[in-house]
């Protein structure tokens, strides 16, 4: 049983929604964020990455950054950039990228569902990243970025969402990256109650993206429960901002790797070692894998097609993931990447950036780059169902949900 509930969102004024909406804070660094906000006073990055309004020398984890975020959020509200809805409702959020449509329900999810694993995870989190968002949420008193959840399709939900989205939307704009963002407000009480009831029939949801934000939202909720002690359960801090998408709508892109050196090997020595576990074939031109267990390897300005031999993995969902095969048979034993979560010698490159970016980085570092076949959404859900954890950076979702379109206040 999945618990969702309506809430009174703060949302951008319709005429500036396209200027407010911003990519998630964690897909860019501070310099990139400063460039984006330079000519946009409305950008939500003034709240999500508030260091853009402070000296460049400041540590991004300095308390002054979170206080500035709180100040900017208050200013956005006082100046009418963000306006609170008059009553608790649900929302439908649709993104269209390259004619591919994904449509989710914006609601508050229960921190208890997270704590009881009714919201399933597939990644480990890092303490420093959690602490950053704990401070941001707690000091701002708001969830400013939604957690991206998915669930196995339920026909009755799909039908009701289709009915709602056949009507005139409340917000519709095309972002600078060509992604269209559309919002419908679901204010009809019968529709709200129906959606809430239908989700009670959904066995569980899965975190698609936003593990750190989810963990942080839950820990803030627990902190506030401790302060209140005799909390009732209906306080806003017991819930966090989420968008729930049916799994059939989602597409996972490849998440590729670049290693910045050859671990003391020559290119020829590396090739010989790779051949122990992979069938290696020179490619003519760039090579993008089209099937599981096949990888593209860019080395010394040349592309190779490498296919994992049958004895390189066990027949389990986790071990058969291409990210696991590459890590266990090549990155760790040959290139010495023991912990890809912390090793500074490895970079991760989202598939949206293309093979040219892998070539650029491979040449820059005189290292080696790997193009992977994407993890599937079914693999993600099966691994979460088994209580297992994927290797880091296993999934890259596009399009990215925009921050600033919905804000959930805790106070």
Which pLDDT score, from 0 to 100, does residue 393 have? 87
Q: What proportion of the chain, given as a percentage, has pLDDT over 70?
A: 100
Q: Please write the tens of the pLDDT for every residue from 19-49.
A: 999 999 988 999 999 999 999 999 999 999 9
Could you report the per-residue pLDDT of 219-274, keeping only the tens digit for each?
999 999 999 878 899 999 999 999 999 999 999 999 999 999 999 999 999 999 99
Distances (CA, A) of 132 to 67, 99, 148, 195: 13, 35, 19, 33
Residue spans of the domains in the chain: they are: 4-250, 255-373
Residue 360: band (very low, low, confident or very high) from pLDDT cuts 50, 70, 90: very high
Residue where the block lists tokens 């290696």? 280
pLDDT at 162: 98
Q: What value does the mean pLDDT take over residues 311-320? A: 84
Long-range (24+ apart) CB contacts under 8 A made by 332-341 are 334/263, 334/265, 334/270, 334/273, 334/274, 335/259, 335/262, 335/263, 335/270, 335/368, 336/263, 337/259, 340/257, 340/391, 340/392, 340/393, 341/124, 341/126, 341/392
pTM: 0.91
Percent over 90 (pLDDT), the chain: 91
Sign of CA dihedral 364, 272, 395, 126: negative
- Beta carbons of 267 and 299 less than 8 angstroms apart: yes
Class of domain 255-373: alpha beta
- Residue 341: what pLDDT? 84
pLDDT beyond 90 at 391: no
Confidence of residue 187 (pLDDT cuts 50, 70, 90): very high
Q: What is the dihedral of CA 52, 220, 27, 107, to 10 degrees?
A: -110
Mark out the alpha helices in 144-245 (DSSP H runs): 155-165, 189-199, 211-228
Spatial CB neighbours of 395, under 8 Å, sequence gap ≥ 6: 208, 209, 252, 255, 374, 375, 380
What is the residue-averaged pLDDT of the chain?
95
pLDDT of amino acid 377:
95
Q: 66-118, pLDDT tens digit by residue? A: 999 999 999 999 999 999 999 999 999 999 999 999 999 999 999 999 999 99
Q: How confident is the model at residue 126 (pLDDT cuts 50, 70, 90)?
A: confident
How far is residue 12's CA from residue 326's CA, in Å, rounded to a whole number? 44
Question: How many CB atoms within 10 Å of residue 239?
Answer: 25
Asked if the model's pLDDT at residue 314 lies above 80, the reply is no
């Amino acid at each position: 049983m999945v618990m969702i509930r309506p809430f009174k969102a703060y949302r951008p004024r319709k005429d500036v929604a396209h200027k407010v909406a911003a990519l998630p804070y964690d897909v860019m660094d501070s310099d990139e964020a400063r460039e984006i906000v330079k000519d946009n006073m409305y950008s939500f990055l003034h709240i999500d990455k508030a260091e853009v309004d402070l000296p460049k020398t400041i540590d991004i984890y300095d308390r002054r950054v979170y206080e500035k975020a709180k100040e900017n959020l208050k200013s956005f509200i006082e100046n009418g950039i963000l306006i609170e809805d008059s009553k608790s409702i649900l929302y439908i959020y649709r993104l269209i990228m390259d004619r591919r449509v994904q449509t989710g329900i914006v609601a508050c999810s229960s921190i208890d569902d997270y704590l009881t694993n009714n919201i399933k995870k597939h990644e480990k989190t890092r303490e420093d990243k959690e602490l950053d968002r704990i401070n941001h949420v707690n000091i701002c008193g708001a969830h400013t970025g939604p957690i991206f959840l998915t669930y196995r399709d339920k026909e009755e939900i799909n039908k009701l969402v289709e009915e709602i989205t056949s009507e005139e939307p409340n917000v519709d704009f095309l972002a600078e990256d060509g992604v269209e963002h559309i919002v419908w407000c679901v204010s009809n009480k019968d529709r709200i109650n129906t959606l809430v009831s239908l989700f009670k029939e959904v066995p569980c949801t899965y975190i698609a993206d936003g593990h750190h934000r989810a963990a942080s939202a839950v820990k803030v909720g627990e902190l506030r429960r401790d302060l209140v002690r005799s909390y009732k359960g209906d306080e806003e801090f017991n819930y966090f901002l989420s968008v729930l998408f049916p799994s059939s709508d989602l597409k996972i892109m490849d998440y590729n790797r670049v290693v910045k050196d050859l671990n003391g090997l020559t290119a020829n020595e590396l090739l010989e070692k790779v051949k122990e576990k992979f069938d290696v074939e020179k490619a003519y031109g760039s090579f993008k894998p089209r099937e599981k267990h096949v990888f593209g390897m860019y080395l010394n300005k040349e592309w190779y097609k490498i296919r994992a031999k049958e004895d390189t993995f066990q027949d389990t969902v986790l071990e058969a993931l291409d990210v696991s095969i590459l890590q266990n048979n090549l990155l760790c034993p040959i290139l010495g990447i023991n912990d890809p979560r912390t090793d500074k010698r490895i970079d991760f490159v989202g598939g949206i950036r293309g093979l040219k970016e892998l070539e650029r980085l491979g040449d820059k570092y005189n290292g080696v780059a790997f193009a992977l076949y994407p993890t599937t959404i079914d693999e993600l859900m099966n691994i979460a169902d088994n209580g297992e954890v994927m290797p880091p950076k296993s999934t890259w979702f596009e399009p990215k949900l925009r921050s600033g379109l919905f804000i959930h206040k805790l106070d």
